[in-house]
């Protein structure tokens, strides 16, 4: 049995569908602009994934290409240019969806320099900035960066906090998660984390954050068509109904 088949079986309830599948209309955090990061490679692939999302009830997509100086030196100009190309391709295919773009900023020296020089950042919603870190190693200035973003008038959004090993492996009942959460940082949890797609440890943390209602936003983090299928499988589950009981901010974006 394939990984996706196992996930699909595990998350299908006795009726085969949850009751909240069509309630999440805004898809946040994805990599759908073609050829500029590790997501969609071609325009055809991008359009196909977006078409599939709209069939699952998505009306608006806020896609977030990586900005990571060592690997993906994207700029607002590059992202906005590719966004316009993708919008035109969708229009040509008759795809009815509102497509916007921000970015997923990696906490590196370049990002710190951008804050220091007050360079404008790509945002979504109420001046929200999506940010990620190294998965394994804690950044010594993490809390300082969150604070600096707030001083500059941004709302920091921590991308997939459940996936960071340096937060998972603490033996203090997830105290670091609580410290960040109660510092006013918004948590964006990946929907695929609830399926076990990234591993059991990450699922456990996602379940903890759900139980403690420490989730402001959920994201698909779609890079390829397989991810669309995994997310759709979750949306057909009772667990997704529980997720949708949270006061999520997605549909207000």
Give residue 14's pLDDT. Answer: 32
The 3-state secondary structure of the chain, one letter per residue: CCHHHHHHHHCCCCCCCCCCCCCCCEEECECCCCCCCCCCCCHHHHHHHHHHHHHCCCCEEEECCEEECCCECCCHHHHHHHHHHHHHHHHHCCCCCEEEECCEEECCHHHHHHHHCCCCCCCECCCEEEEECCCCCCCCCHHHHHHHHHHCCCEEEEECHHHCHHHHCCCCCCHHHHHHHCCCCEEEEEHHHHHCCCCHHHHHHHHHHHHCCCCCEEECCECCHHHHHHHHHHHCCHHHHHHCCCCCCHHHC
Give residue 171's pLDDT. Answer: 61
64 to each of 118, 134, 151, 180, 205, how far by Cα in Å? 20, 17, 23, 22, 23
Return the exposure string of 75-100: e unless at least 16 CB atoms fall within 10 Å of the residue's CB, then b.
Answer: eeeebeebbeebbebbeeeeeebebb
156-211 pLDDT per residue, tens = 999 999 999 999 876 676 889 999 999 999 999 999 999 999 999 999 999 999 99
13-36 pLDDT per residue, tens = 333 344 455 689 999 999 999 999
- Paired residues of 207 in beta bridges: none
Give residue 20's pLDDT. Answer: 56
Tokens 């073609």 belong to which residue? 34
Contact 209, 163 (CB under 8 A): no
Instruction: Please say if the pLDDT value at position 68 is more than 50.
Output: yes
Instruction: Please say if the pLDDT value at position 10 is more than 80.
Output: no
Using CA atoms, how far apart are residues 82 and 98, in angstroms rounded to an integer?
15
Query: Can you read off the two tokens belonging to residue 188?
Result: 């964006």
CATH topology of domain 3-144+185-252: TIM Barrel (3.20.20)
Q: What is the mean pLDDT of the chain?
A: 92
233-250 pLDDT per residue, tens = 999 999 999 999 999 999
Prediction pTM value: 0.90
Instruction: Please say if the pLDDT value at position 5 is more than 80.
Output: no
Give residue 16's pLDDT. Answer: 37
Tokens 């060592």 belong to which residue? 70
Give residue 170's pLDDT. Answer: 65
Give residue 1's pLDDT. Answer: 44
27-64 pLDDT per residue, tens = 999 999 999 999 999 999 999 999 999 998 999 999 99
Instruction: Please say if the pLDDT value at position 118 is more than 70.
Output: yes
Give residue 155's pLDDT. Answer: 98
Return the exposure string of 228-252: e unless at least 16 CB atoms fall within 10 Å of the residue's CB, then b.
Answer: bebbbbbbbbebbeebbebebbbee
Instruction: Please say if the pLDDT value at position 220 is more than 70.
Output: yes
Give residue 115's pLDDT. Answer: 98
Give residue 172's pLDDT. Answer: 74
Using CA atoms, how far apart are residues 21 and 244, in angstroms rounded to an integer?
9
Domain ranges of the chain: 3-144+185-252
């Amino acid at each position: 049995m394939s990984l996706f088949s196992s996930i699909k079986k595990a998350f299908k309830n006795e009726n085969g569908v949850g009751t909240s599948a069509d309630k999440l209309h805004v898809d946040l955090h994805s990599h759908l602009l073609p050829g500029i990061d590790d997501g969609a490679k071609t325009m055809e692939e991008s359009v196909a994934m977006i078409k599939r999302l709209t069939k699952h009830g998505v009306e608006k997509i806020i896609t977030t290409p990586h900005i990571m100086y060592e690997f993906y030196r994207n700029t607002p100009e590059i992202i906005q240019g590719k966004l316009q190309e993708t919008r035109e391709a969708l229009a040509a295919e008759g795809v009815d969806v509102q497509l916007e773009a921000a970015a997923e900023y990696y906490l590196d020296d370049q990002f710190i320099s951008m804050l220091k020089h007050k360079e404008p950042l790509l945002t979504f919603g109420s001046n929200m900035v999506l940010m990620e870190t190294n998965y394994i190693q804690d950044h010594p200035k993490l809390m300082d960066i969150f604070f600096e973003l707030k001083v500059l008038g941004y709302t920091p959004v921590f991308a997939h906090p459940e996936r960071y090993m340096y937060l998972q492996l603490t033996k203090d009942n997830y105290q670091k998660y609580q410290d960040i959460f109660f510092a006013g940082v918004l948590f964006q949890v990946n929907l695929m984390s609830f399926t076990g797609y990234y591993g059991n440890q990450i699922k456990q943390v996602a379940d903890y954050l759900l139980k403690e209602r420490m989730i402001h936003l959920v994201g698909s983090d779609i890079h390829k068509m397989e991810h669309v299928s995994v997310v759709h499988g979750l949306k057909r589950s009772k667990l997704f109904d529980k997720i949708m009981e949270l006061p999520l901010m997605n549909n207000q974006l």
